Amino acid sequence: MNEKRRQITEHDTRYRRLYGHKAMVRDLLVGFVTGIPADLDVQGLELRNASQPPEHGFLQPGDLVWKIPVASDRLLYLRLELQSSGDPSMAMRMHGYVAALLDELWNDVGHLPGGKLPTVLPVVLYSGRKKWYGPTDLKDLMVRPPLDLEAVQPAQRFWLIQGRDHAPDELDRMRNLVAATFRIERPRSWDDVKPVIDRLITWLPGGEHAALRRELSMFISWRLRLEFRDSTIPDMPELLEVRRMLEEKDDLPLWEQWRQEGKEQGIKEGVKEGERKALRLVLQERFGALPEWAEERLASTEEEQLIRWLGLAVSAPSLEQLLAR
């Protein structure tokens, strides 16, 4: 297994385990999907395993499908897709996933409220560094049909949730487990993480929350290892362990840590080249591989401007806006 495939597999496993918990799914829906009642009963949620063999169709045993009672006579099925990278074909894929789910539910239609298929809510939870690319509506992947055929074309949209759409201050005001994980996904410094851990410790006392608390702690350990590029961070099964670890960390801004790494790499070639390597490292973390025009811009820029860009790089909305400054 190559490194990229290993990272994707680990991402899927970590997120799937986290969103196998009722409280996480409830907070995802209540906090980030319009129209879901705030008093949604977490105990009513039921994780549904695919009953058909994998070769039958799109629905796989590991897929996250939740059955959610939203009223005494109404069911909602959540089809949750977890993505670490954009996918321009996702609307088409989701169309297949939803059709496969409805096909399976049809076997039990006689036991469903009203004898009809329930509502399906397709959600993509995206945790990638770049902004999501690709349409959320299947029709945007298809040529426009003649007017007399438009009514019989397949239709599918999905609800896209990405933490980067929400400002840190907005997330901090929410008493919401998913909002807390969004804050962990893009910290600016170690001190950014500490209040999030404190909130989770308060919200999830031991006892009935022990399993979720452990899962969140393991998830956070993994995310911090990625975000701070610190391979010494172990998987910690307890939030208090994470909190104690944070007390031992120097509170350098994340961009400053990256800058120091880059300067160490470039020190043999001089300070200016070290700054350039540091900035390139930060930009690649934020925006992926740099296009040729950006490389040319970095190569022709003086040290003072490189340092200025370093300070802005972590919060810049896009590569184009940053380097145009």
Residue 181: enclosing H or E segment and its boundaries?
helix 177-185
169-197 pLDDT tens trace: 999 999 999 999 999 988 878 888 999 99
Interior CA angle at 68 toward 62 and 73, to 5°?
140
Number of structural domains found in the chain: 3
Domain span including residue 296:
254-323
**Residues 312, 172 share a domain:** no
DSSP letter string over 115-153?
GSPPEEEEEEEE--SSPP-S-SBGGGGSPPPPGGGGGGS
Residue 230 backbone dihedrals phi, psi, to 5 degrees: -120, 95
Write down which residue in 217, 247, 277 finishes a domain: 247
Q: How confident is the model at residue 55 (pLDDT cuts 50, 70, 90)?
A: very low
User: Model's pTM, two decimal places?
Assistant: 0.76
108-132 pLDDT tens trace: 777 777 788 889 999 999 998 888 9
**What letter would DSSP give residue 235?**
-
d(CA 90, CA 134): 7
Report helix, strand or coil for 216.
helix
**Residues 176, 133 share a domain:** no
- 142, exposed or middle or buried, with CB in 10 Å at 0-12, 13-18, 19+? middle
**Residues 161, 172 share a domain:** no
Write down which residue in 130, 147, 165 finishes a domain: 165
Nearest to 14 by CA among 165, 225, 204: 225
Residue 70 CB neighbour total at 10 angstroms: 18
Residue 284: enclosing H or E segment and its boundaries?
helix 271-287
Report helix, strand or coil for 27.
helix
Q: Are strands 119-126 and 74-83 parallel, antiparallel or unpaired?
A: parallel
**What letter would DSSP give residue 50?**
P
Residue 75 token pair: 């069911």
Q: How confident is the model at residue 62 (pLDDT cuts 50, 70, 90)?
A: low
d(CA 106, CA 58): 15
The percent of residues above 90 in pLDDT, for the chain, comes to 42
pLDDT at 52: 46
**Residues 62, 14 share a domain:** yes
Q: How confident is the model at residue 247 (pLDDT cuts 50, 70, 90)?
A: confident
- 49, exposed or middle or buried, with CB in 10 Å at 0-12, 13-18, 19+? exposed
d(CA 66, CA 279): 43
Residue 79: enclosing H or E segment and its boundaries?
strand 74-83
**Residues 11, 146 share a domain:** yes
Q: 């009953």: which residue's tokens?
A: 51
**Residues 234, 96 share a domain:** no
Write down which residue in 146, 165, 184 finishes a domain: 165
Residue 221 token pair: 């350990």
**Residues 272, 190 share a domain:** no
